Amino acid sequence: MIIILNESVTEEQIRHVAAKVEQLGLQPSISRGTYRTVIGVIGDETQLQSAPLAAIPGVAEVVPVMAPYKLASRTAHPKPTVVEVGRVKIGGGHLGMIAGPCAVENLQRMEAIAAAVRKSGANIFRGGAFKPRTSPYSFQGLGEEGLKILRDVGQKFGMPVVTEVVDPRQVDLVCQYADMLQLGARNMQNFALLTEVGRTNKPVLLKRGMSATIQDWLMSVEYVLSQGNSNVVLCERGIKGFDPATRNCFDVAAIPQVHKLSHLPVIVDPSHATGRPELIPACALAGVAAGADGVHIEVHDKPEEAMSDGPQALLPAQYGDLMDQLRKVAAAVGKQMS
Amino acid sequence: MIIILNESVTEEQIRHVAAKVEQLGLQPSISRGTYRTVIGVIGDETQLQSAPLAAIPGVAEVVPVMAPYKLASRTAHPKPTVVEVGRVKIGGGHLGMIAGPCAVENLQRMEAIAAAVRKSGANIFRGGAFKPRTSPYSFQGLGEEGLKILRDVGQKFGMPVVTEVVDPRQVDLVCQYADMLQLGARNMQNFALLTEVGRTNKPVLLKRGMSATIQDWLMSVEYVLSQGNSNVVLCERGIKGFDPATRNCFDVAAIPQVHKLSHLPVIVDPSHATGRPELIPACALAGVAAGADGVHIEVHDKPEEAMSDGPQALLPAQYGDLMDQLRKVAAAVGKQMS
Amino acid sequence: MIIILNESVTEEQIRHVAAKVEQLGLQPSISRGTYRTVIGVIGDETQLQSAPLAAIPGVAEVVPVMAPYKLASRTAHPKPTVVEVGRVKIGGGHLGMIAGPCAVENLQRMEAIAAAVRKSGANIFRGGAFKPRTSPYSFQGLGEEGLKILRDVGQKFGMPVVTEVVDPRQVDLVCQYADMLQLGARNMQNFALLTEVGRTNKPVLLKRGMSATIQDWLMSVEYVLSQGNSNVVLCERGIKGFDPATRNCFDVAAIPQVHKLSHLPVIVDPSHATGRPELIPACALAGVAAGADGVHIEVHDKPEEAMSDGPQALLPAQYGDLMDQLRKVAAAVGKQMS
Amino acid sequence: MIIILNESVTEEQIRHVAAKVEQLGLQPSISRGTYRTVIGVIGDETQLQSAPLAAIPGVAEVVPVMAPYKLASRTAHPKPTVVEVGRVKIGGGHLGMIAGPCAVENLQRMEAIAAAVRKSGANIFRGGAFKPRTSPYSFQGLGEEGLKILRDVGQKFGMPVVTEVVDPRQVDLVCQYADMLQLGARNMQNFALLTEVGRTNKPVLLKRGMSATIQDWLMSVEYVLSQGNSNVVLCERGIKGFDPATRNCFDVAAIPQVHKLSHLPVIVDPSHATGRPELIPACALAGVAAGADGVHIEVHDKPEEAMSDGPQALLPAQYGDLMDQLRKVAAAVGKQMS
């Protein structure tokens, strides 16, 4: 950690800052420049990251040199983690191809969609039973009934299932039915929920918050890991941008950034990132070319009847075509889709 | 609602869209332009807002003409709502001046800060007992012990108290001690929590999410109101911006926008909006000049020892000076600070 | 165009708006809904796009249904345009692989870099002679001397050359040496410069402005096309984002959006989009997978001595490795690199 | 300047970085921490700011401790600069109240608007003769004819005039008629234009670019100052935001930031910042309360006939009401409007 002092800092203030650093068990190294004095901190700065050093009179800026996350960091764990969802592996060359409708609607529809995506090569089935909806008047999901349908259809078609959990009080219930727990973008900093899923042994799919930096995101991962659950897959699903033409801005550069900073797998969700079916295939291909460990796509056989997010769903045939293209790009970057 | 069709839409598709509108109980009005056909929907469009009309083949765009929120809307309730927190009124010309430290730390510190801010004119006291921290390794708050201290200090100095609730399971507990429940920016779309506080009869302070549009924010308000709790005060606390020089971008234009669209009071929090003490006074003054119904400021008597957010706290003397200036600007815009 | 009126609009106001539409030579179609009245405009709305209809009392919102650009639009020109730079084709399946240093520094260095990138498969050589620098104290480019070096080196290694023009007074000079004129992000809405390059017959490389929507960008293209120069290649180079970890946010979804709306080719510049060499390969691969018509990369053989943007340059060997990977991904999406 | 090295940096790389610093005439101070080695640079770092130190192998990050601008900096010039436009002063307690239509349309209209805004207290008159329009098909301004009308009307009503210059080739012409030269947001980094206006002796009104940080903006100011023209007034006019409900996001915190970093005056333009007349008064009041040195407002007597930006213009009566309110807020913060 480097503490940059004000131009007008006094000797007494310098001594005070240095004393504060020592008091926290670390060693200050004072360097007096022509224009500014700087104090380098020798020792494990993570002990200092919560200390309000920037509030000390005379301090202009505090520059950390270590990442504030530990367990999520590649420094701590240089080899890529492979997360297993049922018998499906994600990471380390294995692609998790997640597909299904936004919401679980009914058994018949789920079976039709599952049959189609399975045939096209999806290996994990998705569907929401508890839906975080912007409007209190929108369909909120089928609840436990939806979980049952999801599990049964997944088993019938040989796919483990992932579904969203939105309330810490539901974690136990959802764990009874799901193979993987999804935390949505709006809950990326719901620390009560992160802590609760961290206490389970289920793999977690953690979507990036709409205004989260990569560091914010990895700090949320740290909440889960620090509870003992190390099976986290990150999911880039678009961040807030200024162009209303797309629902979000798909940040494909997040993929190499996560891979550089963390050992955990990261997949892409071009459905939410763009909100427009005509942009989904290009963004899915871009994600895999950039090194993503999987792709999450919403598929619906009758989007105009969908109870949630119909306008961004791909039709089963469109999904099939996309999977054929993804297979080629995956091979070009040295990965294999089953 | 207006449904704009594609240039290449077929007659059959037009009929299909019109049939869909009728099936949902509304009346389509087809208008064929030189380049585009457009279908106006006659009737209460809120029934259609969840329907995935944009997913129907031939539809280019769906333009709503009504707001998706009802109870929060000024159309539904033209007169400004005055929210009462204890004996303090917020809205309709009354200013809620909320002050206190980020976190409740201990009794002695709380008493010192409360005495100072009360003397300067604060009328509601704040302090966090459950802290939503970015890092799992940071101080997470004193919990119930903190709630007790906050309540006792508020009573001693004659100020009702507001504190944050971060977990739906804590709502009952927090209600036993607090006069007002705060929902933080990171929980603005925590729908489980919104629903739970909506079931209480406590006034709610709902901070704006970092990437929430005004409409997103009012939809979250709607979650609380639709549960029967109509005492909501909104709080602009800065949105995500591109300049790392400030913690957030203080969106002062949100004040007149909320006042135009909603009957509910809206206050400003320049402490979180800027994260830098030297910018807080100017932004507080700007907020009141723009019509805010109150100001939320973090104050600490020893910022360098603060257990949370010390670098953005004002000292009691700085707060006192600011309150003197705020009093003048409030008077200039026709409001009175007690 | 659709004119949505206020809830409280009067009959007189409705008549006034309708009269205004007729006065502009178009036909109004009034549709009275339960809550709102809407006026559809029948005829060529581009005549109305400059008219301040939203300023008429009673008007709530004006929703265009046609794009404000014409010549750039795919509607006007359904087949993809192929732009020729010397003998190199860009678009319609042909990839423009542009490489070279940020600035022209000296003959020897230019030759070394040109030899290396040519060998790796680059087909257009780049280098700045007039540099738009954030600081007036930074190196501003070699001017005409730089143009000469660039042209000579391009000819020696058999590559047409592209260089930036930053001032309308320099357009003629730059045209004497360059095969393609680049307009930088900061000049995307420098309308005097757009008009001037539109009067030449040189192909233009138009970078996207940092805060330009896709529509803003296509409107700038329209400035060039409307002057008679139809050889424009667009270049996505990152937009303003909120994460200071990267220089910009690489908007890969811009590729399919441009292809949907326009007939013109669009390439990617991951060097400026990310500003970090370790992220460039993943973003270049993503761009080609998403359908980009080329890739623009800054390459320098001694980045620590570069006179501009050294920290984001790839080394020649890194560029060579990347080109090998790009060749495979290009083939996977049905394109061929020479 | 502080150079933070990689965790895996070698001794040879450390020596190489230190040698580079010495070679540039400065003195390196090496500090070896437990996890990272850091090199502080002693001496005038502005010599190093253009050097690509971050490109040297082993360097993780370069943190400047001095601002890259000099002449614009408050360090260099602690007292506030007062800029004089004709006999009107801006800065140091004096408010520049600029008003007028977006574009100069004709003599009669200009006289009507000038009479109205003068009566309400405006002291500088504005109007565009060269308009930077997003569309090549929109009205581009009356050119020199417009400049003449603007000057004549300004003289008749006793107000100096400000108008935009968009092309370096027009600077001389505009100087013949205008008392102050405006550079628009889209030209904030048009370095050719900045240099050209820097060579004149006319006061300059420099609007902030839509995606410019405060530092970017002050660097553009530096271009003007470094040419010898020290009469620059900055203008905050809204930055790019994510909410399409407003045209831009009005960044009122820019006012105290500019005042902290620079000695130059800064005014606000709520017309462009919001694009919506109903939000302009609140934002104007906020700007003055935050310490702005003036307010720029677009006024038109018949917005629905305006040739540019009609929908965001205030009517003369609305402007008069706003000026009455501004007078009170100005007094509350210790400033006086004439």
Ordered domains of chain C (ranges, CATH) = 2-63 (3.30.70.1140), 83-332 (3.20.20.70)
Element (H, E) at D124: strand D124-126
Kindly report which listed range (A252-256, B47-51, B164-168) carries the lowest average pLDDT score.
Answer: B47-51
Task: Give me the total of CB pairs closer than 8 Å, taking one residue from chain B and one from chain C.
Answer: 66
> Hunting for tokens 């600011």 — which residue is that?
B322
Q: Which of B167, B187, B307 to mutate to test the interface with A (most CBs of A within 10 A)?
A: B167
Report CB contact under 8 Å: B35, C45.
yes
Q: Between chains, do C50 and D210 touch, taking CB under 8 Å as contact?
A: no
The dihedral over CA atoms of D127, D131, D133, D137, expressed in degrees to the nearest 10, equals 110
Q: How far is it, in rounded angstroms, from Cα C207 to Cα C229?
A: 16
CA B238, B243, B245, B250: dihedral to nearest 10 degrees?
Answer: -20
Tell me the average pLDDT of chain B.
94
- Determine, for residues B245 and D215 on separate chains, whether the beta-carbon distance falls below 8 Å: yes
Please give the pLDDT value at position C336: 84
Residues 142-171 of chain B with CB under 8 A from chain D are: none
User: How far are the Cα atoms of A252, B318, C264, D190 from residue C273, in angstroms, in the given order?
Assistant: 11, 42, 21, 20
Crossing angle between the packed helical segments A107-120 and A316-332, to the nearest 10 degrees? 30
How much is the mean pLDDT over chain A?
A: 94
Closest of D15, D40, A248 to residue B240, by C-alpha: A248
CB A91 within 8 A of CB A82: yes
CB contact under 8 A, A289 and C291: no
- Answer whether residue B48 shows pLDDT above 80: no
Which sign does the torsion angle of CA C282, C283, C284, C290 carry? positive
- In angstroms, what separates the C-alpha of D91 from chain C's closest C-alpha? 25
Task: Provide the b/e sequence for C3-42 (b: ≥16 CB within 10 Å).
Answer: bbbeeebeeebbebbbebbeeeebebbbbebeebbbbbbb
Q: In chain B, positions 275-304, which contact chain D (CB-CB < 8 Å)?
A: 278-279, 281-283, 285-291
Quick one: average pLDDT of B139-161? Answer: 97
Q: Is the ipTM of this complex over 0.90?
A: yes
Long-range contacts of B138-146 (CB under 8 A, 24+ apart): B138/A49, B138/A50, B138/B308, B139/A50, B139/B103, B139/B307, B139/B308, B141/B103, B141/B104, B142/B103, B142/B104, B142/B105, B144/B173, B144/B177, B146/B103, B146/B104
Q: Is D282 within 8 Å of D248 (Cβ atoms)?
A: no
Listed by number, the residues of chain B in 36-65 with a beta carbon closer than 8 Å to a beta carbon of chain C are: 36, 38, 40-45, 60, 63, 65
For residue B11, what are the contacts with CB-CB under 8 A and spacing of at least 6? Answer: none
Q: Which residues of D touch C191 (CB under 8 A)?
A: 132-133, 136, 166
Q: What percent of chain D has pLDDT over 70?
A: 100
Q: Where are the alpha helices (DSSP H) in chain B?
A: 11-23, 107-120, 144-156, 171-177, 191-198, 214-225, 254-261, 270-274, 280-289, 316-332
Spatial distance between the Cα atoms of D267 and D294, rounded to a whole number of angstroms: 5
* Site from D211, D214, D240, D252 to mutate, B interface, most B CB atoms within 10 angstroms: D252
Q: Which residue of D has its CA nearest to A247?
A: D242
**pLDDT score of B338 more than 90:** no
Binding partners of C (≥3 Cβ pairs within 8 A): A, B, D
Q: Is B241–D243 a contact, with Cβ atoms under 8 angstroms apart?
A: no
DSSP state for residue B14 in the 8-state scheme: H
Q: Are D97 and D124 in contact (CB under 8 A)?
A: yes
The nearest CA of chain D is from the CA of B251 a distance in Å of 7
Residues from chain B contacting residue D214 (CB–CB below 8 Å): 243, 245
Q: Which of D24, D22, D16, D94 is nearest to D56 (CA)?
A: D16
Name the β-bridge partners of A232: A204
Q: What's the confidence (pLDDT) of residue D222?
A: 97
The per-residue pLDDT for B36 is 85
Chain B closest-CA separation from residue D324 CA (Å): 11
pLDDT of B19 above 80: yes
Confidence of residue C24 (pLDDT cuts 50, 70, 90): confident
Q: What is the pTM of this model?
A: 0.96
DSSP state of B169: G
Q: Are B204 and B175 in contact (CB under 8 A)?
A: no
**Chains sharing 3 or more CB pairs under 8 A with chain A:** B, C, D
**pLDDT tens column, A275-307:** 999 999 999 999 999 999 999 999 999 999 988
Identify the pLDDT of residue A50: 74
Q: Which of D7, D34, D75 sits opposite A42 (nearest CB)?
A: D34
Q: pLDDT at residue B118 above 80?
A: yes
Nearest to A172 by CA among A199, A194, A151: A199
**CB of B2 less than 8 A from some CB of D:** no
Confidence of residue B249 (pLDDT cuts 50, 70, 90): very high
| Residue D228 pLDDT class (50, 70, 90 cuts) | very high
Chosen for mutation from C34, C240, C248, C261 (greatest number of chain B CBs closer than 10 Å) is C34
Burial class, B30, CB count within 10 angstroms (exposed 0-12 / middle 13-18 / buried 19+): middle
pLDDT score recorded for residue B52: 87
Confidence of residue C49 (pLDDT cuts 50, 70, 90): confident
- Give percent of chain C with pLDDT exceeding 90: 79
pLDDT grade, residue C170 (50/70/90)?
very high
Give D 72-131 residues with CB within 8 A of chain C.
none
Which of A246, A253, A332 is facing C332, going by the closest CB pair? A332
Per CB-CB distance under 8 Å, the chain A contacts of C249 are 239, 241, 249, 251, 253
Maximum distance among all Cα pairs of chain C, rounded to whole angstroms: 76
Give percent of chain C with pLDDT exceeding 70: 100
Q: Which residues make beta-bridge pairs with A207?
A: A235
Inter-residue contact A111 to A147 (CB < 8 Å): no
CB contacts < 8 Å between C and D, how many?
121
Q: Which residue of D has its CA nearest to C216?
A: D134
3-class state of residue C140 by DSSP: coil
Q: Which band of pLDDT confidence, cut at 50, 70 and 90, is reported for residue A154?
A: very high
Q: How many CB pairs under 8 A join A and C?
A: 127
Shortest alpha-carbon distance between residue C183 and chain A (Å)? 22
Q: Give me Rg for the CA atoms of chain C.
A: 23
User: Cα separation of C116 and C111, whole Å?
Assistant: 9
Chains touching D by CB (3 or more pairs below 8 Å) = A, B, C
C-alpha–C-alpha distance, residues D298 and A80, integer Å: 58
The 3-state DSSP class for residue D126 equals strand
| pLDDT at residue A7, rounded to an integer | 87
DSSP state of B308: S
Residues D269, D124: Cα–Cα separation, whole Å: 14
Backbone dihedral angles phi then psi of residue A239, each to the nearest 5 degrees? -115, 170
Chain D contacts in chain C segment 181-220 (CB below 8 A): 186-187, 189-192, 195, 209-211, 216, 219
- D chain contacts of residue C168, beta-carbon cutoff 8 Å: 167-169
Q: What is the interface size between A and D, counted as CB pairs within 8 Å?
A: 66
Best of C3, C26, C35, C41 to substitute, by most chain B Cβ atoms within 10 angstroms, is C35
Interface test with B, best of D279, D288, D322 (most B CBs within 10 A): D279
Q: Which of D41, D66, D244 sits opposite A244 (nearest CB)?
A: D244
Question: Is residue D47 predicted with pLDDT exceeding 80?
Answer: no
Q: CB–CB of C253 and A282 under 8 A?
A: yes
- C37: chain B residues, CB-CB within 8 Å: none
Contact B33 C41 (CB under 8 A): yes
In this predicted structure, the answer to whether residue D32 has a pLDDT above a threshold of 90 is: no
In this prediction, residue B150 carries a pLDDT of 98
Backbone φ, ψ for residue C66 (5° rounding) = -115, 150
Cβ burial B161-193 (10 Å sphere, 16+ → b, else e): bbbbbbbbbbbebbeebbbbbbbbbbbbbbbbb
Mean pLDDT of all residues in D175-185: 98
DSSP code for D314: B
Which pair of structure tokens corresponds to residue A174? 């959802």
